[in-house]
Amino acid sequence: MKRKAGELILILAFYLLQVTLGSVIEIGGIKPNLLIILPVLFGFLHGKNEGMFVGFFAGFMYDIFFSGLFGFSSLVFVYIGYFSGVFYQKYEETEMLIPLGLLLAGNFSFGFLSYIGNFLLHNRLNVMYYISRFILPEIVYTLLIAVIVYKPVAFLNKKLEPRNKRRMSKVD
Amino acid sequence: MRKKFSSFMNSKYILIGLSALCLLFIATSFFTDRLTEPLRNAVSAVVIPVQKGMNYIGLWVSDKYDTLQEMTRVLEENKNLQECVDSLTEENNQLKQDSYELSRLRDLYELDERYPGYTKVGARVIGTSSDNWYSTFTIDKGSDDGIEKDMNVIAGGGLVGIISEVGSNYALVKTVIEDNSYVSGMLIDTGDTCIVKGDIELMDTGLIHLQGFGSNVTVRNGDKIVTSNISDKYLPGILVGYAKDITADSNNLTQSGYLVPAVDFGHLQEVLIITEKKESH
């Protein structure tokens, strides 16, 4: 319970940073996608269920005020959390490149799906322009932020673990 | 009992369940806002006050930052007047901070004078859209302050956009530079109508499309484009921007080109909402 509450607060904090600080730190009109970082990291650090839980609520916040199609980001984020969870406990926590790779794949698919929904269906066929001007810069910026927040989130993930479980996982 | 419950917690079932839930959300949001409205109101009750607070902190910090920059400049200029620098910078700080506020408010007041016929409400911008595709933003007034959907939003001399959604304590403004925005406009002097169309591919140039002029209309660079009287949502006579590079289309029936928006969309802090709506006319 404490864990879920902690995660929800983290999602809320990331959302607030995204909408308020986003316009300050944007470069060339591109701001990082902070919320997509969370399902990837929690999926990788704590399994599929956690990834899906965080993905659902992160997507929920992403969508709730600024989307014509409510639920779309949630859906994508849930799948991103699930697939990140596949790699849970397969790698050491210090292997930062694995979650970053997952984030790259996840963010690209999310960006591309958004492009299809928002623009391709409106007859904007200039795919390369949208990828190079919007999707790729966003991924690079997001990865940069992910490198910064990875350690704190991993630390928080450990902190949210109930004490007896922590001991058990040491026995494993 | 616990074991039984945890067997239901199989991640595949959760995935299917959540996917179904999301699909349900998507399907309903195609047709109605009924489902998202209570959710939005619940979340906004928590999020908007915090957002307002963060916005004030941000303004305070940027004010302080500006004044600091100003201070270093003054210090450099007054190297030979070391003895009075202390008192001067102190005074300068205070005055600068006031004057920023004053000039911003004066701009708003001037704008207020320019469209005297409409009643307006001021509001602060407290958040931008969560993705890079749209340039929608949130303001800190909602239905509690009398804001309604489809009210026009202006700032800094021209049209910003239109209220697209309203909650009790916030509202979303859809800007005219957004990709799916169409505004019916006209030339201020002759009344020839045209269409102002946002385009994300022109984002880097700061321009938007201007199209649909008849072939016999002469449009010069810098001609003022205002909202037309045949628009069904925008009030007539609000400045949208200035025409640029209007050329004949390949069909030789229409002319099109670009529009330089009158509003600096990169640095919006305060906006005015016209509380009259087109339908009431």
ipTM of the shown complex: 0.80
Find where tokens 């694995």 sit. A98
Which of the residue ranges A161-165, B55-59, B126-130, B217-221 would you say has the lowest mean pLDDT?
A161-165
B19 vs A68, A78, A119: nearest CB: A78
Q: Which residues of B touch A72 (CB under 8 A)?
A: 22, 26
Q: At what angle do helices B11-31 and A48-64 cross, to 10 degrees?
A: 10
Task: Say how far apart CA A108 and CA A126 lie, in whole Å.
Answer: 17
Judge if B43 and B128 occupy the same domain.
no
Residue B151 is assigned to a structural domain of this protein? yes
Flag whether residue A77 sits within 8 Å of chain B, measured between CB atoms: no
Q: Which domain, by its residues, includes B264?
A: 120-274
Determine the Cα–Cα distance for residues B196 and B192; give it in Å rounded to an integer: 13
Does one domain contain both B133 and B268?
A: yes
- End-to-end CA distance of chain A: give it in Å, rounded: 24
Tell me, yes or no, whether B48 and B150 share the same domain: no
Instruction: Answer whether B9's CB lies under 8 Å from A83's CB.
Output: no
Which pLDDT value is given to residue B1? 46
pLDDT reported for residue A171: 46
Give me the mean pLDDT over the A82-103 stretch. 89
- A54 inside 8 A of chain B by CB: no
Mutate to test the interface with A, among B25, B44, B47, B132 (most CBs of A within 10 A): B132
Q: How many domains does chain B have?
A: 2
For range B98-122, the mean pLDDT: 76
Give the model confidence (pLDDT) of B188-242 as tens digits.
888 889 999 988 888 888 899 999 898 888 888 988 899 988 888 898 888 899 9
Average pLDDT of the segment spanning B150-169? 89
Do B163 and B31 have their domain in common? no
Determine the angle formed by the axes of helices A37-46 and A72-85, rounding to 10 degrees.
30
Residues 6+ apart with CB under 8 A from A116: none
Q: Quick one: how far is CA B125 from the chain centroid? A: 8
Contact: A72, B22; criterion CB under 8 Å: yes
In sign, the C-alpha dihedral spanning A49, A54, A55, A56 is: positive
Average pLDDT over every residue of A52-57: 93
- How many C-beta atoms surround the C-beta of residue B75 within 10 A? 15
Instruction: Let me know if residue B35 belongs to a domain.
Output: yes
Asked whether residue B26 is domain-assigned, the answer is yes
φ, ψ (nearest 5 deg) of residue B60: -60, -45
Closest by CA position to A75, among listed B230, B17, B248: B17
- Average confidence (pLDDT) over A50-74: 87
Q: How long a stretch of residues is chain B? A: 281
Q: Does B133 touch chain A (CB under 8 A)?
A: yes
Locate B237 and state its tokens: 């006579």
Taking the C-alpha atoms of residue B182 and residue B198, their distance in angstroms, rounded to an integer, is 7
Final residue in a domain of this structure, among B60, B85, B100:
B60
Backbone angles phi, psi at A125, to 5 degrees: -95, 5
Same-domain status, B127 and B263 = yes
Task: Check CB contact under 8 Å for A29 and B132.
Answer: yes
Where do the DSSP E strands lie in B167-267? 171-175, 182-187, 193-197, 208-214, 224-227, 239-248, 254-261
Second-level CATH architecture of A2-23+32-161: Orthogonal Bundle (1.10)
Highest mean pLDDT among A2-6, A40-44, B40-44, B178-182: A40-44
Q: Are A40 and A84 in contact (CB under 8 A)?
A: yes
Helix (H) and strand (E) counts in chain B: 4, 12
* Pair B29, B127 in one domain: no
Where are chain A's structural domains?
Answer: 2-23+32-161
